[in-house]
Structure 1
Amino acid sequence: MAVLVIADHDGSTVRDTTHKTVTAALALSSDVDVLVLGKNAKGVADAAAKITGVRKVLLAEGDAISHGLAEAVEATVLPLAAGYDAVLSPATTDGKNFAPRLAAKLDVAPISDIVEVVSADTFVRPIYAGNALETVQSADAKKVITVRPTAFAAAGEGGSASVETVAAGEAPKTGFVSEEMVKSDRPELGAAKIIVSGGRALGSAEEFH
C-alpha cells in the first residue's frame, strides 16, 4: 500500500500540518510520498524531504497550482493517483476544497476530517460539531482523506528522501484574480499548541483569570 500526502506550505516553509498528516499516512503504510505544489518551491520540496518517514517527494510547479486552484490541483494529482492506494491532505481550507473534487473524479467517497486511523480501511471522524465520533469503513479501492492535524503528533525531522519533478496540471476554465492576505502576530488556529475558548459566561476580559 502506498500513500500520497499533499503538502501544506506557505511558499517557503512546510507547515506543521504536513508533518501531522505524514504521521496519519504512516499509520496506513510505510510507503509515504509527499507532493509539493507551487511555484519556485524547490526549497519547500527539500524541506519536505527531511520529514521522517517520507520515501520520496514529488515537486509540481506551475502558475495555476501556485494559487491553489482546485481544478489545477485535481489535474495534477489525478494522473499520480494511479500509483497510490490513498491520497491524504490536511483538513485545511485548501484541502477541503480540492479533496471532494479529486474523489469525484476517482469515483470514490471522500473521507473527511479523520482523527484516528484504525486500519487500512477504517477511520474515526467527528460528527455533530465534534459531539460524537463516527467510525467509517471504506470499501473503495482508492481513498481520498482529509486529516484533522490537531489529532496527530507531528512527524520529526531527519529524513533524506529524494526529490522528483512531475508535471503540473492546468485549470482551463478558471483563473486566479487576486487575493487579500490577513497578517496577524497570532499563530494559525490549526497550528496553535494551546487554544482557550470563551463565551458569554466570561463576561469581559477583566472577569477572565
Structure 2
Amino acid sequence: MAVLVIAEHDNRSLKVATLNAVTAAAAFGVSVDVLVAGHQAAAVAQAAAAVPGVARVVHADAAALEGQLAENIAAQVLAVAGEYETIVFPATAHGKNVAPRVAAGLDVAQISDVTRVVSLNTFERPIYAGNAIATVRSKDRIKVLTVRTTAFDAAPVDGGDARLVLTPAVQDAGTSLFVGAEIAKLDRPELTAAKIIVSGGRGLGSAEKFGEVLTPLADALGAALGASRAAVDAGYAPNDWQVGQTGKIVAPQLYVACGISGAIQHLAGMKDSKVIVAINKDPEAPIFSVADYGLEADLFAAVPELTAALRT
C-alpha cells in the first residue's frame, strides 16, 4: 500500500505546493511516492528524491509532458494509478485541473480541499466557505484527493534519499496544444508562500490609490500584495492577487486587510492567517469579526501613518 503525490513543477524546480502535499500524504502512515511528469525535468526528480519521507520518485519524461497540459498529465497519472490506493494533488489551479480528469478516468469520486487526514479512508474538508467542516469517508478502491496547502506544513527540501524509477511516458493526447506562457515577474514574495500579506479592497477607490497607499506598506513589511474580489473586478489589482474562495487560499503569519469589508468569500481565503489586522472605517464590517487587531479609521490616513512608523 502506498500514496502517490503528483508533483507540481516547471521542469526546472519543485513547487512548494508539492512539499505541502507530501506532508499530507505522510499523514496516511504508509509509503509515499512522488510522480514527476515533465520534459528534461531530471533536476525536479532529484529534488523530489531529497524530500524526507518520500520512498520512491516515479519519473516520466517526454516532450508531450513539457507544457503540463492537464490531458497529458492525467493520462500519465492513470498509467501508474493501479499501484496505489490514494492519489494526492495540491489544491492549486494545476491540481484542480488534473485531479477531476483522473477521478473520472478511474470512475471514483474526487474529495476536494482536504484539510485533515483522519484515517486511510476518512478526511476532513471545509464546506459553506469554511463555515463548517465535513468529515468524509470514501469507499472507493482508489481515493483521489486535492489537499489545501495552507493546512499542511511544507516538508523539508533535503535529508531524504528516495529511489528514482523511470516509467514509460504516455503519448500526446492530441486534444490540446501548449502555445506559450506569460509569467508575471514579481519583485516581492509569491502570494501563497508569503509570510506577510497586505491586501486591499474596494475601499481603495482606484488602481492608482491601490498602488500609492498599499505598495509602500508592503515594501516596508517585505510583504506580498493581495486583493479582494471586488478590488480585482473593479480593475484595481490583477487577477493573480485575488484572495478568497474564488481566488487563492492563504495562511500567512500576518495578514493586513485595508478597506476590505470581509465578505464571506474573502474570509474563506484568509481567515486561517496567524494574525489578522483590519483597517476599515465601517465599524460593522464583517472583517472585524475575524481580526486579531482592528482599527476603525480612514485607511488613507492610517496606512501612510503605519508605513511611516515602520520606516522609523
Give the TM-score of the pair, scaled to structure 2: 0.64
Pairwise CA distance, 1:184: 0.9
2:25 partner SS: helix
Note closer, same or farther for the CA distance 1:124–1:197 as it changes in structure 2 (3 Å cut). farther
In structure 1, what is the Cα distance between the partners aligned to 2:114 and 2:62?
A: 30
Note closer, same or farther for the CA distance 1:123–1:173 as it changes in structure 2 (3 Å cut). same
- Runs (4 or more) in structure 1 with deviation over 6 Å come to none
Correspondence for 2:299: 204
Unaligned 5+ segments in structure 2 are 198-254, 260-279, 282-297, 307-312
1:198 partner SS: strand
In structure 1, what is the Cα distance between the partners aligned to 2:91 and 2:39?
A: 22
In structure 1, what is the Cα distance between the partners aligned to 2:32 and 2:148?
A: 18
Pairwise CA distance, 1:199: 4.5
Matched, 1:190 2:249: no
Note closer, same or farther for the CA distance 1:10–1:176 as it changes in structure 2 (3 Å cut). closer
Correspondence for 2:52: 52
2:117 partner SS: strand
1:48 partner SS: helix
Percentage of identical aligned residues:
50
Pairwise CA distance, 1:173: 1.7
Correspondence for 1:124: 124
In structure 2, what is the Cα distance between the partners aligned to 1:131 and 1:197?
A: 21
Matched, 1:167 2:262: no
- Between the two structures, name the one with larger relative contact order (CA 8 Å, sep ≥ 6): 1
Aligned residues between the structures:
209
Correspondence for 2:69: 69
Greater percentage in helix: 2
In structure 2, what is the Cα distance between the partners aligned to 1:51 and 1:205?
A: 46
Correspondence for 2:264: none
Unaligned 5+ segments in structure 1 are none
Give per-residue Cα distances to partners, 1:59-113, cap 9 Å, x unaligned. Answer: 1122232211111011111020000001101111110001001000100000111
Give the 5 Å matches for 1:1-209. 1-156=1-156, 157-169=158-170, 170-195=172-197, 196-200=255-259, 201=280, 203-204=298-299, 206-208=301-303, 209=306
In structure 2, what is the Cα distance between the partners aligned to 1:78 and 1:90?
A: 17
In structure 2, what is the Cα distance between the partners aligned to 1:18 and 1:176?
A: 22
Pairwise CA distance, 1:174: 1.6
Pairwise CA distance, 1:205: 5.4
